[in-house]
Chains A and B, each alone.
Chain A
Amino acid sequence: MQALLLLPHVLGVFTPDWGVGTASFLASTVEFVEAFTIVLVVGLTINWRSSFVGAALATVTLAVLIAIFGLTLLQVKNLEIFRLVVGVVLVLFGLKWLKKALLRYSGRKALHDEEAIFEEERAALKARGVAIPQKIDTFGVVTSYKSVLLEGLEVAFIVVTFGLTGSNSGAIVNKTAQANSLTSAIIGAAIAGVLVIVMGAVVRAPLSRVPENTLKFVVGIMLTSFGTFWGGEGLGITWPHSDVDLLPVIAVYLLTSFVIVQVLRPRTISQPAPPAAQG
């Protein structure tokens, strides 16, 4: 916080630290993409209102926390419990959707599906031009809130870590150099945030046209992957390549899902219809 207070004094002599700024930009982009994925998922599958309310509340919480506790909060890197809770909830929720999507893909999902009927009714209402109320969904708000808060805290850590350690790399450490590094890190993170939001706004419309089951399948894979990754970190597992390891986790779940669908499908075809007298 002290370094932030120095900013007005050094604005006149601000010289960007490109190394710190770039590092902060790249690292923050990864965190923003992670947070935005969950916001997008909640928006597409529950509703946009709940998703935005959760994200906005998280942003306000983050701002309040930083305003009250300042750098002291950000230097305490004890997010494990938070990561663990968010991770477990995401895995459970992701698996629920993944299970349904896999059952549908393999033709095993029961024909009388209340959710499908609900979706049909929604589609019919939409087709007739009837406005569907965007009711605030508590779970959607909480999911969006927790993910944005968690990733927001991580961005704050990145900014502080790069901002404060960047200026210590040289032999001479002074307040001006520290403020320069911190400002560069903040600018890098801010650019990353804006870019990810713009990118998300562009892909939002095409994603809305993806079929319901495909969307639930992808969402199931994403939530399960993020949940496993964050939950693992919460348990104390250090992923060797950091956030890059999310990709093999996603790949493993995708591959397993395709295998599961293939295993379930032949049975559906080869299995003889049960005799009418049975049951």
Chain B
Amino acid sequence: MQQIIGFPRAVYNFIVGDPIILTGVLVFFVVIGIITHVSKSLSTMANVTLGVVLIAGVILSLVLALYRETKPKQG
């Protein structure tokens, strides 16, 4: 049982290791995925905008993870 629980945890720690990065990246990918699938066809402008939003989401996830790691500890 311990090994069954331990394996996904080891994979998670190896690939991600940070819940903020995981949440941030997944939220942005899901939101953009919904937008692209709801829209029948995307204009060039819309494609560029979504690309920029995706990059911004990745950067935001990184910044939030760094902020959490570097903010002064209370108490």
B interface residues (Cβ-Cβ under 8 A, vs A): 11, 14-18, 21-22, 25-26, 29, 32-33, 36-37, 42, 44, 47-48, 50-51, 54-55, 58-59, 61-63, 65-66, 69-70, 72-73, 75
Stretch of A13-21, A61-69, A89-97 with 4 or more beta carbons under 8 angstroms from chain B: A89-97
In chain A, what residue has the closest Cβ to B56?
A: A252
* Contacts A91-B58, A228-B58 given; does A99 touch B65 at CB 8 Å: yes
- Chain B residues within an 8 Å CB radius of A249: 55
**A78 shortest CB reach to chain B, Å:** 14
* Chain B interface SS verdict (over half): helix
Q: Which residue in chain B gives the minimum CB-CB distance to A88?
A: B29
Q: How far is the CA of A91 from the CA of B54 in the complex (A)?
A: 11
Q: Say yes or no: A99 contacts B21, CB within 8 Å.
A: yes
The answer on a CB contact under 8 Å between A95 and B66 is no
Interface residues on A, range: 20 to 34
Given contacts A236-B36, A238-B44, 6 further A-B contacts (CB under 8 A): A91-B25, A96-B18, A228-B58, A236-B33, A237-B47, A264-B70
Do A237 and B66 touch (CB < 8 A)?
Answer: no
- Residues of A197-224 whose CB lies within 8 A of B: 224
Chain A at the B interface: SS class: helix
Q: Is the CB of A238 within 8 A of B47?
A: yes
Which residues does chain A contribute within 8 Å of B59, judged by CB atoms?
252-253, 256
Q: Measured between alpha carbons, how far is A267 from B61 in the docked complex, in Å?
A: 21
Contact between chains at A231 and B16 (CB < 8 Å)? no
Q: Mark A13-35, 1 if CB is under 8 A from B, else 0.
A: 00000000000000000000000
Across the interface, do B63 and A228 meet the contact criterion of CB distance under 8 Å? no
A228 touches B55 (CB 8 A): yes
Say yes or no: B16 contacts A245, CB within 8 Å.
Answer: no
Contact status A92-B16, CB under 8 Å: yes
Q: A239-B51, A279-B73 are in contact. Are A92 and B36 (CB under 8 A)?
A: no
